[in-house]
Amino acid sequence: MDTISTIDKISKKEIRQLLYNKLAQALVEFRPLIKRKKFDNKVSKATKLFADDIIKASRKSRVKRKKISKPEIVQDYDDDVDD
């Protein structure tokens, strides 16, 4: 699943859950060093920070995509002019 292209389609809560799972999996080797409750709290705080920035960035890119449109083709009307 390409998560970057699907960010626009999922809710904030789902983005946070997705990030939480990825961070927890990435930091699994440090989990035994810290108490479980403290580890979960820190990962959840980091997730909120990352999720907010990711959501803002995806909204900006969505607005930019809407603003960029194909230029209109200007046709020459030289055919109508009689020489």
Tell me the domain boundaries of the chain: 3-63
What is the mean pLDDT of the segment spanning 30-36?
A: 89
CA distance 74 to 64: 24
Q: Does the pLDDT of residue 1 top 80, yes or no?
A: no
The pTM (predicted TM-score) of the whole model is: 0.57
Q: Does the pLDDT of residue 18 top 70, yes or no?
A: yes
